[in-house]
């Protein structure tokens, strides 16, 4: 029976601006995504019983309908009237509930994999439609690109060309933080999507993109920013010590990714990132050296 094996990468947000709260209850975002080489592995195998079965040794990964990969498979089954089920085996490397979009990446990877396994022949536009139904960050992972600008809920994707690859040290405290909690604690005005003044914010993102394209890490580091830092630190004030430790190492810049608690620093080289990791491992269990993928 055919098996498909796929890598499912994490992401970082180098900029995350919250423009306001939308009429639909979500928040209007502008964010710069970077795909990194911290990856889960997903194996898909046809299941002739019609069941959707999830296998994962991580104790905090749901095995049923609360998992986004289950929702992907169920949605495709229903829309295409499929009798086949699927066995989905997930080997986790990406910390969960950390702001790295591991669940969204898994969902996008399964969406692409089932399109192949089940011979659905969905094009990218159709895949993106399903991704937007499933979750806000899912669409980014359908593009085989290192960088993208996300707007709307983060689900409207514009591919960005940046040639250099960058090294980071990434620290993930053993704390689970859920996006819904963070956004609930964010004081953002309600906005009308039709009347958003996004030009100034996108101009700021374009400045960072220009510095990254030129490999000007010193200037790029000064433009890393996340509007969610305030509610992150409001909920977990002890994370301020972690950020202070990272900044004390004097990287080019440091910022929380997504809704945290993952925080990363932009470094000049793999050697510097490894040196930072050796120091930080004294205090934190989950410290990674990662690179643009």
Give one DSSP letter per residue of 1-49, joined into a string: --EEEEEEEEEEEEEEEEEEE-TTSSEEEEEEEEEEEEEEEEEEEEETT
Task: Output the domain CATH number for residue 68.
Answer: 3.30.230.10
Helix or strand or coil: residue 225? strand
Beta bridge partners, 15, equal: 32, 225
Q: Encoding tokens for residue 38? A: 């911290």
Residues 156 and 201 occupy one common structural domain: no
Residues 44 and 113 occupy one common structural domain: yes
Residues 90 and 222 occupy one common structural domain: no
Q: In a structure prediction context, what are the per-residue pLDDT tens digits for the chain, which is 293 residues long?
A: 789 999 999 999 999 999 888 888 788 899 999 999 999 999 999 999 999 999 999 999 999 999 999 999 999 999 999 999 999 999 999 999 999 999 999 999 999 999 999 999 999 999 999 999 999 999 999 998 999 999 999 999 999 999 999 999 999 999 988 888 898 888 765 554 444 556 778 888 999 999 999 999 999 999 999 999 999 999 999 999 999 999 999 999 999 999 999 999 999 999 999 999 999 999 999 999 999 99
Residues 33 and 48 occupy one common structural domain: yes
Q: CA 151 → CA 12, 13, 154, 260, distances in Å?
A: 15, 12, 5, 19
Spot the catalytic one: 17, 40, 71, 137. 137
The C-alpha atoms of residue 11 and residue 174 are separated, in whole angstroms, by 18
Task: Output the domain CATH number for residue 246.
Answer: 3.30.70.890
Residues 143 and 54 occupy one common structural domain: yes
Identify whether 216 is a catalytic site residue: no
Give residue 196's pLDDT. 53
End-to-end CA distance of the chain: 31
Domain boundary among 113, 132, 160: 160
The C-alpha atoms of residue 182 and residue 180 are separated, in whole angstroms, by 6
Residues 60 and 101 occupy one common structural domain: yes
Residues 90 and 207 occupy one common structural domain: no
The total number of residues written for the chain in this structure: 293
Identify whether 137 is a catalytic site residue: yes
Give residue 111's pLDDT. 98
Residues 141 and 7 occupy one common structural domain: yes
Q: What are phi and psi of 202, to 5 degrees?
A: -65, -35
Give residue 194's pLDDT. 47
Domain assignment of residue 213, given as a range = 167-291
Give residue 190's pLDDT. 57
Number of domains in the chain: 2
Is the overall model pTM greater than 0.85, yes or no? yes
Structural contact between residues 255 and 279, judged by C-beta atoms closer than 8 angstroms: no
């Amino acid at each position: 029976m055919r098996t498909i094996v796929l890598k499912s990468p994490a992401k970082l947000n180098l900029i995350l601006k919250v423009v306001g709260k939308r009429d639909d209850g979500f928040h209007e975002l502008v964010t710069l995504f970077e795909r990194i080489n911290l990856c889960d592995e997903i194996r898909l195998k046809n299941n002739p019983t019609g069941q959707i079965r999830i296998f994962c040794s991580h104790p905090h990964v749901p095995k049923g309908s609360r998992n986004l990969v289950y929702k992907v498979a169920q949605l495709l089954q229903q829309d295409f009237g499929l009798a086949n089920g699927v066995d989905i085996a997930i080997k986790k490397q990406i910390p969960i509930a950390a702001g790295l979009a591991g669940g969204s990446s898994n969902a996008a990877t399964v969406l692409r994999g089932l399109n192949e396994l089940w011979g659905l022949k969905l094009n990218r536009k159709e895949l993106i439609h399903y991704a937007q139904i499933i979750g806000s960050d899912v669409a980014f992972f359908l593009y085989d690109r290192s960088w993208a600008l996300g707007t709307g809920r983060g689900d409207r994707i514009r591919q960005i060309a940046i040639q250099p690859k960058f090294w980071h040290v990434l620290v993930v405290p053993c704390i689970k933080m859920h996006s819904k909690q963070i956004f609930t604690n964010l004081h953002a005005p309600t906005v009308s999507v039709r009347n958003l003044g996004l030009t100034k914010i996108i101009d700021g993102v374009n400045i960072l993109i220009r510095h990254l394209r030129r490999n000007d890490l010193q200037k790029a580091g000064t433009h890393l920013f996340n509007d969610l830092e305030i509610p992150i630190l409001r909920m977990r004030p002890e994370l301020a010590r972690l950020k202070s430790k990272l900044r004390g190492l004097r990287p080019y810049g440091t910022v929380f990714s997504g809704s945290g608690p993952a925080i990363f620093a932009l470094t000049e080289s793999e050697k510097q990132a490894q040196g930072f990791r050796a120091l930080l491992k004294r205090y934190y269990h989950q410290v990674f050296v990662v690179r643009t993928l």
